[in-house]
Structure 1
Amino acid sequence: MTERADPAASAVLETSKAGTPVLSLRSATLAYGDRVLWKNLNLDVKPGEFLAVLGSNGTGKTSLLRAILGQQQLSSGSIELLGEPVRRGHRDIGYIPQQRLIEQGTPLRARDLVTLGINGHRWGLPVTGRKTRQQVDRVLASVGATSYANVPVATLSGGEQQRIRVGQAIASNPALLLCDEPLSSLDLNHQRVVSDLIDERRRAIGSAVVFVTHDINPVLDKVDRVLYLAGGRFRIGTPDEVLRSEVLSYMYNTPIEVIRTRGRVAVLGAPEGYGVHDHLEHHIDDRGQR
């Protein structure tokens, strides 16, 4: 866990009672008809905690984020943010989507998107005063985007656009930062840059991070705990507690091998899009366990 050092930290987070989790799920269940994605999920995420959410495609990782955002109703159970039921459009939640290139011709500049992270919730035409402009400048500087602050976002590279999305998500100093595979489609350099930006913000203001990913390796050194979803089951614990052959073999009901080497993790034998992978897989075909 980390200390909050930034005076601009979320007012709600600053005034929350000591020991109150940022995010709390109780008996949370999500099902579509007879198909149960996860059942009776109990989870508390503390200020400054980095939780990685892993699992195969279709196990409900993005649905979990949608439920936290108030966009998806649980089948049963509850979700609370700072002790209150979650609601759609909560100002203390920041959201970073998957990397998608913005269409050419979109006139919004980088600073415009970050400004929307501050006043986009207000009705009517946004009025950007000096205080807001200064805040936008600080956010742009914090994500290393000052040099292209006034450039149309559509002309920026994928990595630069994702920096701006991080800036937009953190502009309101949220208590909770939700990240839906924010590193997908980025090269290794930009994966490191974006994950470091998220982690730096977490450390600066104590935001809790819920980070959905198919590959834990780019953030493995930042993760406090893992929530692993598979086959309607879940496991919560440190990476060393969850990412083990016997644990994943039980969850998938099939033999799974977890290999650790040079500070990285490879999972062999799990379904496609299983949640942790490594280039090692491409060199073990002769074992028939890909």
Structure 2
Amino acid sequence: MSTSQSPAPVLRIRNASLRRGDRTLWSGLDLDVAPGELVAVLGPSGSGKTTLLRAILGLEPLSSGSIETLGERVHRKGNRHVGYLPQSRPLTAETPMRGRDLVALGVNGHRFGLPLPSRRDRERVESLIDEVDARAFADQPVGVLSGGEQQRLRVGQALADDPRLLLCDEPLTSLDLANQQAVVRLIDAHRVGAQTGRRGEGGAGAGVLLVTHDINPVLSAVDRILYLANGRFTLGSPAEVLTSEVLSALYGTPVFVLRAGGRLVVVGAPDAEQGAHHHHELDHHHEDDA
């Protein structure tokens, strides 16, 4: 009788800890992200969400433990099959590039010296522009584009090498609801497309790790949630994690998960940096994470 083996995870974290001075951001973290899986990372400001992504990218050394991406230990040189999508930060009107130039940085920006795009590069840029539905503004200066249009181009840049692991750091910040939904659709299309063999190496699928303060726009696409708080963490499906009982145990104080107008709201969660209790909506935007 033949047995099918599960594909190897695109991200494997084992017993990972990261401390800053005498403060532990998180410790004992074990996490596998499977091909085609989307894991959302939640938690208050200062809980180490962005730091986790930096550690996966090889930019932040662990205090202990290990991280592997696509079967290799992480290193500062990075891995071209690991994509990164940052926060939506507006580019100024004086930025000297067109929309297509921003996408092209993902195709040939890793090369030393002045990039001389080949025909294959140009075709890849055109394909990415269509993929993120940016044809209408691809030749406009990026500084005159809306935040949503700029973020679509950044998605195209992040997908340039058909990443098998996509790391997203607050990709919906400052976007209106329509553009949030558009960016989520693009991220999810890459994950699902890879899973069905239209992307990635050998159709193995793309895993996604997405840091967000707002679970609501991505909730329908999320497989599991990693919730960081108070130097601790919990991991499970949205139904397992986003409960009053689980979050109260994680924070060590009464916390309530409510549904209001079809949205999830966490009430009474302590702020990681202030130590004071407050009403924390999962769609409330904070400043940059630690």
TM-score bucket of the superposed structures, by smaller chain: 0.7 to 0.9
Relative to the length of structure 2, the TM-score reads: 0.87
Using a 3 Å threshold, how does the CA distance of structure 1 residues 237 and 44 change in structure 2: closer, same or farther? Answer: same
CA RMSD of aligned residues (A): 1.7
Output the amino acid matched with 1:78.
Answer: S
TM-score by length of 1: 0.87
Alignment pair present for 1:208 and 2:202? no
User: Hey, what's the Cα distance between the residues in 1 that align with 2:252 and 2:245?
Assistant: 10
Structure 1 residue 55 corresponds to structure 2 residue 77: no
Q: How does 1:177-256 map to 2 (within 5 A)?
A: 177-205=166-194, 206-256=205-255
Correspondence for 1:90? 79
Residue of structure 2 in register with 1:12 after alignment: none
Question: 1:275 Cα shift?
Answer: 7.5
Given the alignment of the two structures, is residue 258 of structure 1 paired with residue 257 of structure 2, yes or no?
Answer: yes
Give the superposition deviation at 1:263.
Answer: 4.8
Maintained 8 Å contact 2:213/2:283: no
1: CA distance, partners of 2:280 / 2:240: 15
Q: Structure 2 vs 1, CA of residues 25 and 99 (structure 1 numbering), >3 Å: closer, same or farther?
A: same
2:102 maps to a residue whose letter is: L
CA distance in 1 between counterparts of 2:65 and 2:89 reads 33
Q: Deviations over 1:138-190 (max 9, x none)?
A: 11111110111111111111110000011100111011111110101111111
Could you tell me how far apart the structure 2 residues matched to 1:124 and 1:112 are?
A: 16
Q: Which residues in structure 2 correspond to 1:63-82 (within 5 Å)? A: 63-82=51-70
Provide the rounded CA distance (Å) in 2 between the counterparts of 1:93 and 1:278: 27
Deviations along 1:4-39, one digit per CA (max 9) or x if unpaired, are xxxxxxxxxxxxx96210000001000012210100
Distance in 1 between residues matched to 2:280 and 2:63, nearest whole Å: 24
Check conservation: 1:214, 1:275, Cα contact below 8 A.
Answer: no
Alpha-carbon distance, 1:272 to partner: 4.9
Match of 1:277 among 278, 282, 287: 282
CA deviation after TM superposition for structure 1 residue 82, in Å: 1.2
- What residue ranges of structure 2 are gaps of 5+ in the alignment? 195-204, 273-278, 285-290
1:163 alignment counterpart: 152
Q: Percent identity?
A: 58
Contact 2:25 2:231 in 1 (8 A): yes
1:90 Cα deviation from its structure 2 partner: 1.5
Q: Distance in 2 between matches of 1:96 and 1:278?
A: 19
Shift of 1:278: 5.5
Distance 1:276 1:24, change over 3 A: farther
Aligned in 2, Cα 1:159/1:52: closer, same or farther, shift over 3 Å? same
Letter of the aligned partner of 1:27 in structure 2? N
Which whole-Å CA distance do the structure 1 matches of 2:243 and 2:124 have between them? 44
SS at match of 2:97: coil
Unmatched runs of 5 consecutive residues or more in structure 1: 1-16, 280-290
Specify the alignment match of 1:282 in structure 2: none
More displaced 10-residue stretch of structure 1: 259-268 or 171-180: 259-268
Distance 2:218 2:170 in 1: 12
Contact 1:216 1:275 in 2 (8 A): no
Q: CA deviation at 1:261?
A: 5.4
**Structure-to-structure mapping, 1:142-161, within 5 angstroms:** 142-161=131-150
1:20 corresponds to which of 1, 4, 8: 8
